Structure 1
Amino acid sequence: MPDLTAEAPTTGGEKAPARRRIPQLPLLAVVTLLVALTALAVGRYVVPPNEIIRMLAGQIFPVGQTWTAQEQTVVLDVRLPRVLLSLLVGGGLALGGAALQGVFRNPLVSPDVIGVASGASFGGVLALLLGLGSAAVVGGAFGFGLLALAVVMLIGRLNTGNPILMIVLSGTVTGAFFTALVSFAKYVADPESELPSIVFWLLGSLATATYAKVVTAAVPILLGAAVILALRWRLNILSLGDDDALALGVPPRLTRGVLLCAVALMTAGSVAVAGLVGWVGLVVPHLARLWTGSDHRVQLPAAFLIGGAYLTVIDTVSRTLTAAEMPLGILTAVIGAPFFIVLLARSRNRMWSQ
């Protein structure tokens, strides 16, 4: 399979492009902050951005209160946890997709390929079916997501000939198995009480965002992101192939296993608090690659920032577009699919050629 994402920095000449692209990361960080500030301001109840800045600063520094109690409730209690959660979930899914595309050297790979999303969705659906609380939904999704990863890694060890192919096949089989279990759960669910909540959760939403969910998502997502970002230079070498990576002193199986575990951790954490949100892990890595190039040292942080901003914009549209909030999964598919086609048509040579 051709190397579609790697740009191994092995010589001084190859490092220069990465140095030129590094200043773009602060620009992306500023854009992401501006998107988050805009999301806090807009909605059915508009809050002036200057009041939001003073309000947020007032949580740390002594700032005279010029905002109303209603504005404080809307921003701090309703919108801020939702924006923080969208930044975490979007960034985690995008970073996971970018890492997997580098590991498998395939631009069509997303976090769904390792079966963790399907396993996590079954865990959440099972908790809803049993009538358990929201904490059980989060815990079930997270636990079954890690269980799906364990099954994938176990099956992948049955054949040592082509580890990448075995991981893809085992992920496909595991994902199909848990998807069948989700379908069975929907079949036996009560159509009046249980089925609507299951369907809405599977479509993805941040409507129930709380600070507790932000903490729940932050731990696995930030932990997985820290591992992936720490190994991003090894991903450049891993993208060259197992033989070359081993010759350069990078153990391919161990590195690949650690990266897959980190992606699974982020995916399970994202599904646990937001349900299934598709297309983010597929579309955003291509945006990051177009913006920064194929060097994973810069591409992976860019994917995290762009993913957070992207999902924040989608979530803001979902809660302001109609009176009844539209699920995130619908919007990400409706917007992501045509956008991906445009990217394919306009930049196929730059993104996909060797």
Structure 2
Amino acid sequence: MTSSAVEGVAAPEVPAPRRTIADRKVLVIAGFTVLLVAVAIGALAIGRYTVPPNEIVRILLGQFLPIEPTWYPQERTVVLDVRLPRVLLSILLGAGLALTGAVMQAVFRNPLASAQVLGVSSGASFGGVLVLLAGFGGAALVGGAFLGGVVALVLVVTIARAVPGAPLLMIILGGTVVGAMFQAMVSFITYIADPYSELPSIVFWLMGSLATASYTKVLTAAIPIVAAALVVLALRWRLNILAMGDEDATALGLNPRRLRTLLLICVALITAGSVSVAGVVGWVGLVVPHLVRMMIGTDNRMVLPVSALLGAAYLTVIDTLSRSLSTAEIPIGILTAIIGAPFFVLLLIRNRARLWGSDA
């Protein structure tokens, strides 16, 4: 028996082998991937016309493999033509919106940052509404929403930098002011829009919904969201360095300002792609990354991909609820706000010391 053991002193812990850590990360990613697949199959099965999960799997595999049909033609139509585009769109938007929240919280080192809170969604809404008022859609809608989101983001950053001494507080207040300003302009456009031809589509679009999902919309959203998400995921390890502060990041060979600009452009692009096809679906970027950090820690190399997977599953569940809770479909933006707003209040309470104390 060693003297350390006799004296009751614990032996130093042996660091976990690098292989073990890598295996643990693979298991976490695999676990959340399985969760997403299970949620997606459940969403394809649930509805007024229920389809057995085993038939869903066979229908999907039958598009690529020579499987003997055991399903009814109605089941194939419901799965492939009605529910699959909607599920794909909810997965795409949920993953993208969760990524934007995780990125903005890391870039601003602000637990309350998200595209919704910082006014980016309101700016993107204004750009999209202008395009709708002009009678355009498709790529023009994505472009208008992107420009609106970028303008809102630039305004928030400018306000935060203009007032020294309380960066965290000024980012939140700046986002509130910018969001309110763009929301007022959206309200003005809805006021002057034609109540018979333009207003109904604008109002329904602003509430956020996947009711009009189609494969065309999936492709329209996928181009900006997937492109920006791949860039963000490729740079996720640099977010850990950025969190160390600008001086340390510069000493390690990074250009903090250039990296922030690139990441925020990706955030605006993902937000624009989401807003253009589904309207404003808020709070996903605020809720999901915090749930992920509570489960797996703060390493952005894991937080970003897991946030994307959990965000995809989360929005798919919310969308399934929106079309299943009542005979009249509930806009998905309403449900995400009902869940997200109380969560935001809890975050404010938890971070009140940073808002009014040491960070002020």
Q: Same fold (TM over 0.5)?
A: yes
2:216 match: 212
2:146 match: 145
Across the two proteins, how many residue pairs are aligned to each other?
336
Q: CA deviation at 1:170?
A: 7.0
User: Does residue 267 of structure 2 align to residue 266 of structure 1?
Assistant: no
Distance 1:170 1:191, change over 3 A: same
Is contact 2:119–2:152 with CA below 8 Å preserved after alignment? no
Q: TM-score with structure 2 length normalisation?
A: 0.83
Is contact 2:116–2:283 with CA below 8 Å preserved after alignment? no
Letter of the structure 1 residue corresponding to residue 129 of structure 2: V
Q: CA deviation at 1:148?
A: 3.9
Alpha-carbon distance in 2 for matches of 1:38, 1:177: 40
Q: CA deviation at 1:210?
A: 0.5
Is contact 2:155–2:178 with CA below 8 Å preserved after alignment? no
Structure 1 vs Structure 2 CA RMSD: 3.2
2:230 match: 226
Letter of the structure 2 residue corresponding to residue 139 of structure 1: A
2:298 match: 294
Which structure 1 segments of 5+ residues have no match?
Answer: 1-11
SS at match of 1:264: helix
Alpha-carbon distance in 1 for matches of 2:305, 2:327: 35
Alpha-carbon distance in 2 for matches of 1:324, 1:39: 18
Letter of the structure 1 residue corresponding to residue 250 of structure 2: L
SS at match of 2:313: helix
Is contact 2:287–2:340 with CA below 8 Å preserved after alignment? yes
Alpha-carbon distance in 1 for matches of 2:35, 2:158: 43
Q: Deviations over 1:97-127 (max 9, x none)?
A: 0010001011100013554322321233223
Alpha-carbon distance in 2 for matches of 1:76, 1:127: 31
Q: TM-score with structure 1 length normalisation?
A: 0.85
Alpha-carbon distance in 1 for matches of 2:254, 2:207: 39
Alpha-carbon distance in 2 for matches of 1:170, 1:336: 20
Q: CA deviation at 1:33?
A: 0.5
1:49 match: 53
1:40 match: 44
Q: Percent identity?
A: 57
Alpha-carbon distance in 1 for matches of 2:69, 2:291: 40
Is contact 2:112–2:347 with CA below 8 Å preserved after alignment? no
SS at match of 1:111: coil
Alpha-carbon distance in 2 for matches of 1:290, 1:200: 35
Is contact 2:93–2:274 with CA below 8 Å preserved after alignment? yes
User: Does residue 318 of structure 2 align to residue 314 of structure 1?
Assistant: yes
Alpha-carbon distance in 2 for matches of 1:186, 1:14: 59
The structure whose Rg is larger is 2
Alpha-carbon distance in 1 for matches of 2:262, 2:31: 30
Is contact 1:118–1:145 with CA below 8 Å preserved after alignment? no
Q: CA deviation at 1:177?
A: 3.9
Q: CA deviation at 1:69?
A: 1.2
